[in-house]
Chains A and B, each alone.
Chain A
C-alpha cells in the first residue's frame, strides 16, 4: 500500500524563551492512499497542529513530512501552495469563505486560478458537485444568505474541485446538528469510496466510527491507534460502541 503522507518525529513548538512549549513532541503518523482516518483527543492536545504540519500549511521545528513522495520541508512557499491547491482539500469547522464572492465563485476560486479559460467547464463541475451535496440552487447566493450546514457543504465542494489526493477535515461537523452532521459524513464516505484519502479531526464518536483507523492524541503525542474495518453500512452500533469504549479507556 502506498503512503500518501509520512510524518516522522514531528516536533512543533510555540512561543519564545520561557514561554516556549512543545505542542507536537516527536509525533510520527502515516496515511495510506485512499485511507479514511480520524484523529481524536482532548482539546489542546495538538490535533489541529498535527493537521497543519502534515498538510504543509505550517512549518515544523523537527522531524520531516513526506507528501506523495516529496519532502515538504525542502519546498518553498510557492511549491507548497501548488501542492495544497492541486492535491489537497480542506474543510474546517467554520466555513472559510471569502465574503465578497458568492457561493459558486467561492467554490471555483482555487480551480480558476490556474485555468480561467475553462471557467465554463469548471463552473459546470462545481454545479454537479453542488447538486450532489444538496445545495444545487444556492449558486448565486451570498455566503451570508445560507445556513451553516449549507455553507459547510459548499466548503466540501470547494475542497473537491481539484480532485485532491487527500481531504483534510478539522471538525467539519463540529458546528452542525446531528442530522446535518450525518448527511455530511455520508458525503465523506462516498468521496472516500471513490478513492480520496481523508483525515478528519473530531471529538465525535459517531464521526470517528465512520473511518477505518483512529489516532488518539494527548499532550502532543499519539497515545494509541485503533483499527476498524472499512465502513460498509453494517454494524453501526457496535462500531460506535467500540470507539466510545476506547475514548473512555484513555479518558477523553
Chain B
C-alpha cells in the first residue's frame, strides 16, 4: 500500500535518493570489509602460527653456545614441551645475489637456515612444510612482494649457485619489522657454506602452557643461560605479523565509522528538508485526527528501502574488493580456514549498519510530535527560531554586504538544517588533514627519534667487541665526520619485584649527542640513572622517578629511572645508561656517525662496509625506508586517497544540499527577485551560506584533527612502540593548500548546485 507513495517520492528526488544509497552502500561495504579482514587476518595468522609451530620463546644469541646446559635446562623445566637450537648463518648482503638483484643495500640481516624437524617450520605458499633438495633455495616471501626475484631465478650466495625453487613463509620473521630474514637451503648446502658467514643461534622453546611464559622467562634469565641478542615471545611474533594489515583494518574501521556518520547526516538533512516541505500536510493530517504513526510509517518505509538497497550494494561491493585487500594476508599468511565465518561477520556488520540507520530515522521522526497543527495550517512553516539569529538584524548591519548578511543569517536561522552539512564538512576536513599530517610526521626526519634511534646519518654495528677500536680510529680520523659516538650494549641482571632476576640489555654511552624523543622524563645524565623503553617499563611496572636494582659484577646497584622512550629495535626491550662497566661482556657495539655533508652517506656506507667486513654499516634513512618504507608509502597513498574521497564527498554533499535548498527556497528566491535582487545577488547569498558553513567546518575539522586526530594517529603509531606522539605539521599544506582546495571544491559545487536559481520565474512562484 505504501509502495506507490514511496516510489513516487523517490522518483521525484532521484539525485538525493541515489546519493543516500551510495553513502549507505559505502558505509556498509567498509564495515563489511573491516569485519571480513579482521576474521581472515586472525584466522590466517592462527593458521600460519599453528602450522609452522611458532616457538613460544626465542632467544637470539651470537657467540659461544653451551648446548648441553640448554638441554639440561629444558629437561628440568617442567613447562618446556620442546626445545631446539636453530642455526642461522648470517651472510653479508653483498654476497647475496638473487637473479639480477643484489641485497647489498638491504638493512635486514639475511642468512641461511635449514628446515627444522621439531617446530618453527618454514612453510611454502601452500602452507606445507618445505622439503628442500641440494642446489635449491627458498626465499622469504617479502622478496617476492618487492619483486626482487622470482621462481626459477639463479641465486648466487657467497659464490655458490642455487636455483630459486620457491618462496617461504616464516612465522617468526615475515614482518618487515623483524630485523632478520631466513633463506632455506638443504643441510648439505648449509654445511658447505658454513664458513662464509657468521653463525648466530636461535634458541627456541615450545611450552606446555603459554600462560606461564613470564615464569619461564624469569627461569631462563636466572639460570644465566645464553642471552647475547634479542628475546622474542609468541605474543610479539603475533603482533609483528599482524601489524601492517592490522593498521589497514584500523584505517578502514575509522573511515567506515566516518562514512556511517556521513550517511546518517545525509539522511538527516534530506529527512528534515522533507518534513519542512510537508509541514503543512503533516499539520493538516494531525488536525483531522490522523495517527502520526501512520505518517511515520511512510517515511520509515522509504528509508528502510534505501537502507536495504544500499546494504545489498555494500555486500556486493565488499565481495568485489575483499580480494585486493586480502592479497597481502594471503601472501604472507595464507588462507584462513574461517573465511566463511568472515562472510557471516561481514553480513552481520551490514545488518548493524542497516539497524543503525532505521533507528536513527525513527529518532529524527520523533520531531513529528513537536509539529503544532494550528501553526502548521496557519503559516505552513516551522516556527523553530533561535535567539541569536533574532539579534542578528539587517537594520543594525553595516558591516556585511546585504547578500552576505542574508546568507549568514539564513545559516544562523536554520541551524538544524545546516548542522548536517557542517558535520559532513568537519568530517571531510578531518579526513583530509589527519592522514596528511600523519604522513608528514612519519616521513619527517625527526620521526626516527620516536622509535628509539637518534638523528644521525649512519651507523656501524658490530658484535665483535675487540675490533671496535679499529672502527673508532678510522672514524675519528675521517674528515667528513662531523661528530660520532660509541654505544655499547651489555646484558645485566635486574631484580624484579618478587625478588627474582631477569636479563636487561642496557645501551651504555653518551646519549646526549644524538638525542631520542622521550615519552616521559629525560635521558640519563649521571651514573646512577637509567632510562627504560616503554615495553620494559610496563613489564617491570616502573615509572619515572622509580628505583630499579641492577646486579653489576655481583654487586647490587640502585638506579633512578629518569625517562621512558619508545623503541622498535631489538624487540623493544632496552634501557639506556651512562655508567661505566668493565665486568659484563659487550653484546654489540654501535658507532653512530653524523657526516658534515649528508650527500656522502651512500659512499661512506659503502667504504665502511668494505673496510670493516666484520661489521654492518647502514644508512639510517635507508634503515627507515626499509623498515617503515612500505608503511610510509601506504600512508602517503592513503593520504592522497583520503583527499580525493573527502573532496568527492564535499562536492557531492554540497551539490545535493544546494540543489535541495534552491528547490525549497523557490518562493523566497522569487520574492527576492520581485524586489529587484539579481540572479548574481542570489548566487552570492548561497555562496556565502556554503562558505560560512565551510569556514566553520574547516576550523572545527582542523581543531579536531589536531586533537582527536593526533590521538588516533598516536594509537596507530604506538603499534610501532612509539607512545608519545605529536604531529609534525606542514603549515603550508595543512593551513593553506588544504583549506583552499576545500573552498574551491565547495565553491564550484555551490555554483553548480545553485545554477537552478537563475531559472526560477517570479510569476510562477508568486501566483495571484
Contact = CB atoms under 8 A, between A and B. Distances in A.
Q: Tell me if chain B binds chain A.
A: yes
B672 interface: yes
B383 A144 contact: yes
Contacts of A119: 394-398
A77 to B, nearest CB: 6
Interface in B659-676: 667-668, 670-676
Interface in B159-207: none
Contact of A116 (B390, B401, B671, B674): B401
- Among B401, B413, B766, B767, which residue has the most Cβ atoms of chain A within 10 A? B766
Given A84-B674, A84-B676, A96 B681 contact: no
B676 A116 contact: no
B227 to A, nearest CB: 76
A239 B410 CA distance: 48
B410 A100 contact: yes
Contact of A123 (B395, B409, B413, B670): B395
A184 to B, nearest CB: 16
B394 A108 contact: yes
Nearest to A104: B395
Interface in B746-762: 758, 761-762
B677 A116 contact: no
A148 B432 CA distance: 51
B106 interface: no
B397 A57 contact: no
A162 to B, nearest CB: 8
A117 interface: yes
Contacts of A101: 394, 409
A88 B676 CA distance: 9
B673 A102 contact: no
Interface residues of A, number: 46
A125 B670 CA distance: 25
Given A81-B677, A84-B676, A98-B671, A113 B768 contact: no
A97 interface: yes
A77 B389 CA distance: 31
A251 to B, nearest CB: 22
B679 interface: yes
B680 A78 contact: yes
B498 interface: no
B768 to A, nearest CB: 4
Contacts of A82: 676, 678
Contacts of B400: 116
A35 interface: no
A93 interface: yes
Interface SS, B side? helix
Nearest to A142: B385
Nearest to A168: B674
A158 B676 contact: no
A138 to B, nearest CB: 13
B275 to A, nearest CB: 16
Interface residues of B, number: 43
B675 A102 contact: no
B763 interface: yes
B662 to A, nearest CB: 15
B606 interface: no
B763 A49 contact: yes
Given A52-B763, A144-B379, A170-B768, A109 B385 contact: no
A85 to B, nearest CB: 2
Contact of B389 (A48, A100, A122): A100
Interface string A13-56: 00000000000000000000000000000000000110010000
Interface SS, A side? helix
B374 to A, nearest CB: 12
Contacts of A62: none
B541 interface: no
Contacts of B414: 100
Interface in B374-390: 375, 378-379, 381, 383, 385, 389-390
Interface string A59-95: 0000000000000000001100111111010101110
A97 B375 CA distance: 17
A82 B680 CA distance: 12
Nearest to B385: A142
- Among B396, B673, B675, B679, which residue has the most Cβ atoms of chain A within 10 A? B675
Contacts of B394: 101, 104-105, 108-109, 112, 119
A52 B768 CA distance: 11
Given A52-B763, A82-B676, A92-B768, A116 B413 contact: no
B328 interface: no
Contacts of B385: 100, 142
A144 B390 CA distance: 14
Nearest to B379: A144
B444 interface: no
Contacts of B761: 58
- Among B400, B681, B763, which residue has the most Cβ atoms of chain A within 10 A? B763
B674 A98 contact: no
A128 B118 CA distance: 102
A100 B762 contact: no
B77 interface: no
A122 B631 CA distance: 64
A82 B678 CA distance: 8
B20 interface: no
Contact of B402 (A78, A93, A113): A113
Contact of A102 (B393, B397, B402, B758): B393
A112 B767 CA distance: 26
A90 B680 contact: no
Nearest to B761: A58
B403 interface: yes
Given A48-B767, A58-B762, A101-B394, 11 more contacts: A78-B680, A81-B679, A81-B681, A82-B676, A96-B671, A96-B674, A104-B394, A105-B394, A108-B395, A116-B397, A144-B375
Interface of B: 375, 378-379, 381, 383, 385, 389-390, 393-398, 400-403, 409-410, 413-414, 667-668, 670-681, 758, 761-763, 766-768
For the complex of A and B, the 3 pairs showing the least CB-CB separation, nearest first, are A85-B676, A105-B394, A84-B676
19 contacts: A57-B673, A81-B677, A83-B676, A88-B676, A92-B766, A92-B768, A94-B768, A99-B381, A100-B385, A100-B413, A101-B409, A108-B394, A109-B394, A113-B681, A116-B400, A117-B398, A119-B398, A122-B395, A171-B768
